[in-house]
Amino acid sequence: MAEKIPLSRVYQSETIDRRILEVVKGGNYILGPECKAFEKELAEFFGVQHAVLSSSWTAAVHLLHLAQGLKTGDEILVPSLTAFPTIEPMIHAGGKPVFCDIDDTYTIDPADARRKITGRTVGILPVHLYGRPADIDALQQLAREHGLWLIEDCAQAHGAKWKGKRAGSYGDHAAISFYPSKNLTVYGDGGAVLTNDAAIAQKISMLRNHGRKDKYLHEKVGFNLRFNEIQAAVGREQLKMLDELNSGRRRAAEWYRRELAGVKGVALPPTDTPGKTESVYHMFVIRLDNHDRRESLARYLKEKAIDTGVHYPVPNHLQPAMEELYGKLPPLPRTEDYVKRILSLPMFPALREDQVKTVADAIKQFLRS
């Protein structure tokens, strides 16, 4: 029977097991010393002044938008090719997503973003999709020209770099996710805001914890969107290993590139630009030459015990929820084309060379047939 090759696999260790037990026995469970230490270490890793933990990326960014004072009708430029949670917080806070097309890196096309700016535009929310940074230089320039804020969605890009600095350290703010499939995870849901703005960090810290200034004094009407000590301990140990784990992903990506080089009908992810981008391959996404072939290949690989995924089959501007809110939205040609042809292959730090070869050989066998 063929070995099953999963799409992703969470990093585990005996050290993490031991740390979980230590926290359980320690008696602190919510926003205690582990959370404080994790926030400090995250800020240091990403090169920012503050990191504020919350119960998910979605919760963290919702609180960020509230702390920013996002108003009803404010427009935010955002790629349509991203997970739906990217846009949920802005909508809940009264803002409106303005969907932009992508370029060949699968990230927001700065030229299309420029075309979508109106008098109501207040910010840009680029997504460093699949672990590759968006064009930060062009987006920063666009933000400066029009007085817009910039929030980096780093949910899939922990440790990625742009011109030698971590993605997440360039925008006015950024946010990361710890969902189990991410490069940095905490064995459950979780997220954090990264910022150099002390006032914003303080507001988010209060809002996530019932608007408290202290235990029985509530300055704001807040939420219960706190982080817990067990997951913070897991995250601290994962963070120590993150660069090494990302190196494992890059190694697997190079194996894929070698095995799939020159295969007709398959477009590989864009390579990094030396001195500019350093991707962390949250996913390794290929693009087939037509939609029918993508679907058939996915079925063929499944029969061979190889997991695949599509991230994301329905772009957000075509989601039923968006049509309900805003009616039929303008087309995004490249996004709509690419989502019909992309396929995510197995990618995780412990992926072996022989497993990559098995996946690649199966793809080539399929295409030959």
Identify the CA nearest to 131 among candidates 249, 280, 236, 250. Answer: 280
Task: Say if residue 248 is in the same domain as residue 232.
Answer: no
Residue with tokens 């990506």: 253
| Pairwise CA distance, residues 155 & 3, whole Å | 30
Question: What are the structure tokens assigned to 158, written together?
Answer: 């922990």
Residue with tokens 């997991």: 307
Task: Say if residue 61 is in the same domain as residue 197.
Answer: yes
What lies within 8 Å, CB to CB, of 177 at 6+ separation is 56, 57, 155, 156, 190, 191
pLDDT confidence of 215, banded at 50, 70, 90? confident
User: Which is higher by pLDDT, 191 or 214?
Assistant: 191
Domain closes at, from 179, 214, 237 = 237
Domain closes at, from 237, 256, 286 = 237
Question: What are the structure tokens assigned to 279, written together?
Answer: 């991707």
- The one-character DSSP state at 99 is E
* Residue 123: half-sphere exposure toward Cβ, Cα within 13 Å: 25
pLDDT confidence of 2, banded at 50, 70, 90? confident
Summarised one tens digit per residue, pLDDT across range 92-125 is: 999 999 999 999 999 999 999 999 999 999 999 9
Domain closes at, from 237, 272, 295 = 237
Task: Say if residue 232 is in the same domain as residue 244.
Answer: no
Task: Say if residue 227 is in the same domain as residue 253.
Answer: no
Q: What is the pLDDT of residue 136?
A: 98
Mean pLDDT for the chain overall: 97
Residue at 41 is within a domain? yes
Residue at 258 is within a domain? yes
Q: Please say if the pLDDT value at position 1 is more than 80.
A: no
Whether residue 30 contacts residue 228, with contact meaning beta carbons closer than 8 Å, is answered with yes
Q: What is the pLDDT of residue 291?
A: 87
Q: What is the pLDDT of residue 49?
A: 98
Summarised one tens digit per residue, pLDDT across range 12-36 is: 999 999 999 999 999 999 999 999 9
Residue at 316 is within a domain? yes
Query: Looking at residue 302, which CATH number applies to its domain?
Result: 3.90.1150.10
Residue at 8 is within a domain? no
Task: Say if residue 171 is in the same domain as residue 259.
Answer: no
Mean pLDDT score, 216-242: 97
Task: Say if residue 102 is in the same domain as residue 229.
Answer: yes
Q: What is the pLDDT of residue 202?
A: 97
Residue at 7 is within a domain? no
Residue at 326 is within a domain? yes
Residue at 9 is within a domain? no
Q: What is the pLDDT of residue 65?
A: 98
Task: Say if residue 291 is in the same domain as residue 198.
Answer: no
Query: Looking at residue 176, which CATH number applies to its domain?
Result: 3.40.640.10
- Name the 3-class secondary structure at 302: helix
Q: Please say if the pLDDT value at position 91 is more than 80.
A: yes
Task: Say if residue 165 is in the same domain as residue 28.
Answer: yes
Residue at 83 is within a domain? yes
pLDDT confidence of 324, banded at 50, 70, 90? very high
Task: Say if residue 103 is in the same domain as residue 129.
Answer: yes
Summarised one tens digit per residue, pLDDT across range 47-84 is: 999 999 999 999 999 999 999 999 999 999 999 999 99
Question: What are the structure tokens assigned to 37, written together?
Answer: 């230490």
Mean pLDDT score, 349-355: 98
Q: What is the pLDDT of residue 369?
A: 87
Mean pLDDT score, 299-321: 98
Considering its fold, how many domains does the chain have in total? Answer: 2
Task: Say if residue 226 is in the same domain as residue 272.
Answer: no
Identify the CA nearest to 159 among candidates 250, 67, 284. Answer: 250
Mean pLDDT score, 228-240: 98
pLDDT confidence of 334, banded at 50, 70, 90? very high
Task: Say if residue 258 is in the same domain as residue 168.
Answer: no
Mean pLDDT score, 157-169: 98
Question: What are the structure tokens assigned to 48, written together?
Answer: 């920012």
Question: What are the structure tokens assigned to 95, written together?
Answer: 């803002």
Q: What is the pLDDT of residue 23?
A: 97
| Pairwise CA distance, residues 29 & 14, whole Å | 21
User: What's at 212, amino acid-wise?
Assistant: R
Q: What is the pLDDT of residue 214?
A: 83
Q: What's the Cα-to-Cα distance from 312 to each of 14, 82, 101, rounded to whole Å?
A: 34, 7, 14
Q: What is the CA radius of gyration of the chain?
A: 21
Task: Say if residue 148 is in the same domain as residue 265.
Answer: no
Q: Structural domain of residue 245, as residue ranges?
A: 240-368
